[in-house]
Amino acid sequence: MPTTSLHHLQQHTTIVADTGNLHAIERLRPTDATTNPSLITAAAQDPINQALLEQVQQQAEAEGLRDAALIERMIDLLTVQFGIEILKLIDGRVSTEVDARLSFDQAATVTKAHELIEIYQQAGIDRERVLIKIAATWQGIQAAQQLEADGIHCNLTLLFGLHQAIACADAGVTLISPFVGRILDWQKKSTGRTEIPVTEDAGVQSVKQIYTYYKQHGYQTQVMGASFRSTAQILALAGCDLLTIAPNLLDELSLLTTDIDQPLCLDWATQQPPMPQQRLDAAQFMQQHAQDPMSSELLQAGIDGFVQARQQLTAQLMSQLTTQLQQRFA
């Protein structure tokens, strides 16, 4: 039987499942898993997870919380509870995202991260198995630097530009998630092209550039390609430290037999043209960010999307509580 592309990929890269679907994770058995507000909101709408919703509601109510504070606590508890359920199915780590509304507030991000880790630890989960996911704004990166010093590992997400990756490496964060597919979407929109071969894919090229920069300068921060649109993008980045992949694309890879010609590796990176090392302060970061319309627009759009997903979850939970009250006094 021919060896599958998924098997080839696993020889070079750590596979991470990009989903909140517990059944998919149990079936695919990845090393790590990532979640985000959109995935948590989608999972919360699945009737199969109703017991988890009831569990976190009871826990939040037992803390004496009501109204808006109750909803906020339920969302935090639910986010962590999904992470706990995922950790029962994998051997590695789960990424749990901080409220995206805090993306430009360093102090509030640090506080919320500690709160999430405390919930995990109260459930008996070692903090080494959790990555706190934070948007790669300047404030988010500085919060991550503080958290790493506190022994809390971070995954900086919504990363679209080299300046973000440079700042993350200098901050000593554990992992970054450059978004491949959304960069390709931007490239198609800006050029008017509907098809772009993987050799010209700006998202793939961005991850390769970041990977090269990190390896040439000896940074320990791991690179995890994310937001894929096709198996071709994934296979083009074989050898990247980690790749977080949606279940449908993992299934496609398990049916393909395409081999991997040139995986990314340290030797490959050192053979690329030298990239000068940079150090960015806040002003330099902001300047480079402002001069990069793709990164600026996609970062803000990503944050807005995650905020909207949280608002949808808030509305769902409020509706659930209202229905319960109506039934109680009917």
> Which among 140, 96, 138 is positioned nearest to 117, based on CA atoms?
96
Residue 330 confidence (pLDDT)? 62
CA angle 153, 185, 19 (to 5 degrees): 40
CA distance 248 to 277: 38
Which of 133, 188, 208, 215 is flagged as catalytic?
133
Give the tokens for residue 307: 């905020």
CA distance 232 to 253: 10
Residue 2 confidence (pLDDT)? 77
CA distance 327 to 202: 54
Reported as a pLDDT band with limits 50, 70 and 90, residue 327 is confident
Residue 212 has pLDDT above 80, yes or no: yes
pLDDT digits (tens, 9 = 90+) for 246-292: 999 999 999 999 989 889 999 999 999 999 999 999 999 999 999 99
Residue 83 has pLDDT above 70, yes or no: yes
pTM across the whole model: 0.95
How would you write 113-180 as a 3-class SS string? HHHHHHHHHHCCCCHHHEEEEEECCHHHHHHHHHHHHCCCCEEEEEECCHHHHHHHHHHCCCEEEEEH
Q: Chain-wide mean pLDDT for the chain? A: 95
Q: At 88, is the secondary structure helix, strand, or coil?
A: coil
Give the tokens for residue 109: 């991000």
CA distance 53 to 317: 9
Q: Which residues contact 251 (CB under 8 A, 6 or more apart)?
A: none
CA distance 182 to 61: 39
Query: For 194-216, what is the mean pLDDT?
Result: 98
Residue 26 confidence (pLDDT)? 94
Give the tokens for residue 64: 């004496």
Is 133 marked active-site?
yes
% of the chain at pLDDT higher than 90: 87
Q: At 17, is the secondary structure helix, strand, or coil?
A: strand
Query: For 122-131, what is the mean pLDDT?
Result: 98
Residue 282 confidence (pLDDT)? 98
CA distance 266 to 273: 13
Residue 1 confidence (pLDDT)? 59
Measured in degrees and rounded to the nearest 5, phi and psi for residue 187 equal -60, -45
Query: For 211-225, what is the mean pLDDT?
Result: 98
Task: Give the chain's domains with CATH numbers.
Answer: 5-324 (3.20.20.70)
Residue 322 confidence (pLDDT)? 85
Calculate the alpha carbon distances from 124 to 154, 279, 299 in Å: 19, 39, 34
Query: For 185-199, what is the mean pLDDT?
Result: 97
Query: For 4-10, what is the mean pLDDT?
Result: 95
Question: What is the identity of the amino acid at 82?
Answer: F
Residue 328 confidence (pLDDT)? 73
Residue 321 confidence (pLDDT)? 86
Residue 261 confidence (pLDDT)? 82
